[in-house]
Amino acid sequence: MRGLLARRMKFHFIGAFLVSLGSATLYKFAVAEPRKQAYEDFYKNYNPMKDFEAMKAAGVLESAPPK
Amino acid sequence: MANHSQLGFQDASSPIMEELMRFHDHAMMVALAICSLVLYLLTLTLTGKLSSNTVNAQVIEIIWTILPAAVLIMLALPSLRILYMMDEVNEPNLTLKAIGHQWYWTYEYTDFKDLTFDSYMTPTTDLPLGHFRLLETDHRVIVPTRSTVRVIVTADDVLHSWAIPSLGVKTDAIPGRLNQTSFSASRPGVFYGQCSEICGANHSFMPIVVESVPLANFESWSSTLPS
């Protein structure tokens, strides 16, 4: 039992640090990076005129009613 | 607009909102790291696995002063970067005035013609099929896509606030004061917002609708309106 508290505290402080780093890394690769990638993928081949024509045909625009 | 039970941000429709979303993810990571650290240590403490008989705590005191300071710097730097980015003078092509009243907005396009119109919420009883309850207006704010638009916001009576979440815009409308903001819609579409400062009985019923269209369509729309 000699040095048990010191050993245990060292173990758990390292453990706590790893848990917090791990949860931040998990959030980064599960949420943040996919979100960035989703925006990149959306705008990579985005055609604003085609999107606009689709909205116009659907009749959702006040300034550009469908013919 | 937001879906029912939506917790996160609406999809970003302007570069500033994309930056804000990225910063929010960054801040959330930091908050999650700190909360999980505290929860872990708290669980250990409450289950009796962690205790201390330390009387000389010099090293740990230094560590838990330096580390939080570093975390705060990690948060402050990107935050200030975006704050200054939002205030950049970016030569707007169009200036628009938004004036808050109880309980509607007036918009003025005075760059080339004297175009002024009021924008009232469409009552639910008059709402066409497929339109959004409490969000639609009789006249929308039409802006050109991918052009920087300056908005001067003020109010006529009490405090209001001109806000559109997906464009990353929220500016208080204060009587006797002109507040300036700017945005650039990244894509064509219709973007909804609501008054964001309590202003009386119908505060929840004076929405804002911005419609972003290609420049040619914006010009043909503005030429059809009477001065």
Judge whether residue B36 has pLDDT over 90.
yes
B115: enclosing H helix or E strand? strand B115-119
User: 3-class DSSP state for residue B108?
Assistant: strand
ipTM: 0.89
Tell me the residue range of the domain where A27 lies: 4-58
User: How many inter-chain contacts (A to B, CB under 8 Å) are there?
Assistant: 89
B15-87: in CATH 1.10.510.10: no
Buried b (16+ CB within 10 A) or exposed e, B146-184: bbbbbbbbbbeebbbbbbbbbbbbebbbbeeeebebbbb
Structural domains of chain A, count = 1
Examine residue A9 and state whether it is found in any structural domain, yes or no: yes
Residue A67 domain-assigned (yes or no): no
> Is B213's CB within 8 Å of A17's CB?
no
- Residue A19 belongs to some domain of the structure: yes
Q: Which residues contact B15 (CB under 8 A, 6 or more apart)?
A: B184, B186
CATH number of B94-224, picked from 2.60.120.1130, 3.90.180.10, 2.60.40.420, 3.40.50.80: 2.60.40.420
Residue of B nearest to A38 (CA): B11
Is residue A33 one of the residues assigned to a domain? yes
Residue numbers in A near B223 (CB within 8 A): none
A47 falls within a domain: yes
Give the torsion sign (CA, B88, B91, B94, B98).
positive
**pLDDT tens, B10-31?**
999 999 999 999 999 999 999 9
Q: Do B40 and A19 touch (CB under 8 A)?
A: yes
Whether residue A3 is predicted with pLDDT greater than 80 in this model: the reply is no
A21 at B interface, C-beta within 8 A:
yes
Residue B117 has pLDDT above 90, yes or no: yes
| Region class of B105: left (phi > 0), else alpha (psi between -120 and 50), else beta | beta
Query: What are the residue ranges spanned by the domains of chain B?
Result: 15-87, 94-224
With CB atoms and an 8 Å threshold, state whether B29 touches A43.
no
Which of B52, B192, B213 is the best substitution to test chain A (most A C-beta atoms within 10 A)?
B213
- Give the integer Cα–Cα distance in Å for B94 and B92: 6
CA atoms within 13 A on the CB side of A29: 5
pLDDT tens digit sequence for B138-192:
999 999 999 999 999 999 999 999 999 999 999 999 999 999 999 999 999 999 9
Q: What is the pLDDT of residue B227?
A: 59
Residue B120 backbone phi and psi in degrees, to 5: -100, 150
Q: What is the DSSP letter of B173?
A: E
Residue contact A32–B44, C-beta within 8 A: no
Name the minimum distance, in Å, from the CA of B36 to any CA of chain A: 5
At A4 the pLDDT is 80
